[in-house]
Amino acid sequence: MPSLKDLKNRIETVKSTRKITKAMQMVAAAKLRRAEEAAQEARPYAERMNAVLSNLAQGAANSPSAPKLLKGTGADETHLLIVATSERGLCGGFNSSIVKLARREAQRLLAAGKTVKILTVGKKGREQLRRDLGDHLVDHVDLSEVKKVGYNHAASIATDVLARFSADEFDVCKLYYGQFKSVISQVPTELQLIPTTFEETEEAVSVSYDYEPEEEAILADLLPRSVATQVFTALLENAASEQGARMSAMDNATRNAGEMIDKLTIQYNRSRQAAITNELIEIISGAEAL
């Protein structure tokens, strides 16, 4: 049975923890709004890009001179997995779920005798993957100093990946990130970057465009851009998901702290009353004995 003083200290500790988690939740909520706005503003560009590219790609996919980015190297031996996670923890299962998805894929590939290379974006994913797949980590992108993810960050990641691709370092590239559905739901997602895939657009009416310069030059110019755009979209989704996950994790923590305080307060009051009753009994029985 803890003493009254111990209980009192416990209650104080939990109370200050609750203050911290409450503050973190509110900060996350504010950041989430901004992250969501950023993701929303980036959407028109990505959608247009996808629409134009899929239109172009449909025509070019079957031509023998199609760019390598579109049809792949023809091999399926070396896989580059880009795992995008957050720089900070305390956001529930957000990082773990992305890492879990990537790890399962890595193990599947390794079991099939393929070579796996992993590029991590964000510290948390790197820490988790280093334990069992440390030999496969090839590079790491540090965004811990970055307050707001900009297109230039995505572009530099894409440039790096494309340089590796043209140096024949891998055949297939996949990107892992958390897709933002809502505050309570972030879905770890796998997206194949290279060879490029397209979401089927419904308005796939093939308008015959004039191309300036010719079709293939445009395609060669656009494909690398589209990789950067997809990375950018993923980073923005990730940023929103991270804040969403943190918000609900901190909300839970705050609620748990509240419950704990209630429980401890009841315990405190019980033992205080027990101590008083004890004292009274002692006094009364002392008086009776006289």
Looking at 145, 213, 285, 288, which residue binds another protein (CB under 8 A)?
213
* CB closer to another protein, 189 vs 229: 229
Cβ 38 vs Cβ 187: under 8 Å:
no
Active centre residues (catalytic) = 91
191 touching another protein, by CB under 8 A: no
| DSSP states along 182-208 | ETTEEEEEEEEEETT--PPPTT-----
Q: Which is nearer to another protein, 133 or 223 (CB)?
A: 223
In sequence order, the β-bridge partners of residue 120 are 83, 140
Q: How far is the CB of 47 from another protein (least distance, A)?
A: 9
Q: Long-range CB contacts (< 8 A, 24+ apart) of 109-113?
A: 109/79
Distance of alpha carbon 253 from alpha carbon 257, whole angstroms: 6
Residue from 207, 287, 289, 290 touching another protein (CB under 8 A): that is 207
Compute the least distance from the CB of residue 252 to another protein, in Å: 33
Out of 208, 285, 287, 290, name the contact with another protein by CB under 8 A. Answer: 208
Q: Is the peptide bond before 195 cis (omega within 30 degrees of 0)?
A: yes
Rounded to a whole number of angstroms, the minimum distance from the CB of residue 240 to another protein is 15
Radius of gyration for the alpha carbons in the chain, expressed in angstroms and rounded = 28
Contacts (Cβ under 8 Å, ≥6 apart) of 216: 60, 63, 65, 66, 67
What is the closest distance, in whole angstroms, from the C-beta atom of residue 167 to another protein in the complex? 12
Identify which range of 28-36, 122-130, 215-223, 246-254 contacts another protein by CB under 8 A. Answer: 215-223
Q: Does residue 98 contact residue 92 with C-beta atoms inside 8 Å?
A: no
Query: Residue 77 has what DSSP assignment?
Result: S
229 binds another protein (CB under 8 A): yes
By CB under 8 A, residue 104 contacts another protein: no
Tell me the per-residue interface mask from 34 to 73 with another protein, x by CB under 8 A, - otherwise.
Answer: ----x--xx-xxx-xx--x---x-----------------
C-alpha triplet 248, 253, 258: angle, nearest 5°: 125
Q: How far is the CB of 121 from another protein (least distance, A)?
A: 17
Q: Which of 197, 211, 280, 284 binds another protein (CB under 8 A)?
A: 211
Q: Cβ(97)–Cβ(59) under 8 Å?
A: no
Binding residues for another protein, rule: CB under 8 A, are 38, 41-42, 44-46, 48-49, 52, 56, 150-151, 154, 207-213, 217-218, 221-222, 225, 228-229, 232
